[in-house]
Structure 1
Amino acid sequence: MTRLVRHIRRLRSCEAGAPMVEFGIVLPLILLFFAVIIEGGRITWIHQATSAGVRDASRMIARIAPLDLCAAGGVGSYDALATDIVQNQLGGSSIMPHGTTVIDVTPRCISRAGVYRINPTSVVEVTAQIRIEYLFGNVFSLFGATLGPLDTEISDQSRVFGV
Structure 2
Amino acid sequence: MKPLGRFLSRFRRCESGAPMVEFAMVLPVILLFFVVIIEGSRITWIHQATSAGVRDASRMIARIAPLDLCSAGGVASYDAMATDIVANRLGGGAHLPVGTTLVDVTPTCISRSGSYRIDPTSVVEVTAKIQIDFILGNVLGLFGGAVSTLDTVISDQSRVFGV
Q: What TM-score does the superposition give when structure 1 sets the normalisation length?
A: 0.97
Partner of 1:98: 98
In structure 2, distance between residues paired with 1:95 and 1:19 = 46
In structure 1, distance between residues paired with 2:91 and 2:82 = 16
Q: Kindly indicate whether residue 7 of structure 2 is the aligned counterpart of residue 7 of structure 1.
A: yes
Query: How much has 1:16 moved relative to structure 2?
Result: 1.1
Q: What TM-score does the superposition give when structure 2 sets the normalisation length?
A: 0.97
Q: Kindly indicate whether residue 110 of structure 2 is the aligned counterpart of residue 114 of structure 1.
A: no
In structure 2, distance between residues paired with 1:118 and 1:10 = 91
Deviation per CA, 1:95-151: give whole Å up to 9, x if none: 211111110000000111111111111100000000111111112111111113110
Query: How much has 1:67 moved relative to structure 2?
Result: 0.7
Partner of 1:63: 63
Partner of 1:138: 138
Residue type of the partner of 1:128? A
Partner of 2:16: 16
Question: What SS does structure 1 have at the residue aligned with 2:143?
Answer: coil
In structure 2, distance between residues paired with 1:125 and 1:136 = 33
Query: How much has 1:44 moved relative to structure 2?
Result: 0.6
Determine what percentage of the aligned residue pairs are the same residue. 73
In structure 1, distance between residues paired with 2:9 and 2:131 = 59
In structure 2, distance between residues paired with 1:5 and 1:115 = 95
In structure 2, distance between residues paired with 1:58 and 1:2 = 86
Residue type of the partner of 2:146? T
Question: What SS does structure 2 have at the residue aligned with 1:59?
Answer: helix
In structure 2, distance between residues paired with 1:116 and 1:100 = 39
Question: What SS does structure 2 have at the residue aligned with 1:60?
Answer: helix
In structure 1, distance between residues paired with 2:160 and 2:98 = 34
Partner of 2:45: 45
Counting matched residue pairs gives 163
Structure 2 gap segments, 5+ residues each: none
Residue type of the partner of 1:90? L
Residue type of the partner of 1:99? G
Partner of 1:149: 149
Of 105-114 and 139-148, deviating more is: 139-148
Query: How much has 1:89 moved relative to structure 2?
Result: 0.3
Partner of 1:161: 161
Structure 1 gap segments, 5+ residues each: none
In structure 1, distance between residues paired with 2:104 and 2:129 = 5
CA RMSD of aligned residues (A): 0.8
Partner of 1:28: 28
